[in-house]
Amino acid sequence: MPTSKVTYQGGLRTAATHLQSGKEIITDAPTDNQGKGEAFSPTDLLATSLASCMLTIMGIKARDAGLSIEGCSVEVTKIMAPNPRRVAEIKISMDMNNGQTFSTKEKKLLEGAAKTCPVAFSIHPEIKIDLSFKW
């Protein structure tokens, strides 16, 4: 079964439907590439999916270890390069301050989990990933 269906809406906007759930994501071209910037751009989704994937894998490891990372968040910064226009760097800043105190061993477990998410393994090695944690 296909994963999604993407339809061009006009005006440099697409609507992507997740076929299993019916949930929809709208994308717009960014303002620096002739778009309105009223929604995530496709390259924003690439960078954001890395952060979502990292938190998901960390959540699995945390759950298995009897920990909670609920309330933890990530700030994502995407840096573009020209000629050809592409994502050159993704900065991931993990804010792990959710009111819990994590031991050194737990921090190492969670940081390692973040680095093993499938999206991280799928991103081209020329894209720099700058990952930092705030405990």
Which overall architecture, per CATH, does domain 42-134 show? 2-Layer Sandwich (3.30)
pTM assigned to the model: 0.93
Kindly state the percentage of the chain with pLDDT values over 70: 100
pLDDT digits (tens, 9 = 90+) for 100-118: 999 999 999 999 999 999 9
- Phi/psi of residue 72, each to 5°? -70, 150
The pLDDT assigned to 20 comes to 97
Give the CA distances from residue 54 to residues 60, 67, 113, in Å, rounded to whole numbers and listed in that order.
10, 16, 7
Query: 13-70: per-residue pLDDT in tens?
Result: 999 999 999 999 999 999 999 999 999 999 999 999 999 999 999 999 999 999 999 9
Instruction: Tell me the domain boundaries of the chain.
Output: 4-33, 42-134
Q: Which of 71, 69, 90 is nearest to 79 (CA)?
A: 90
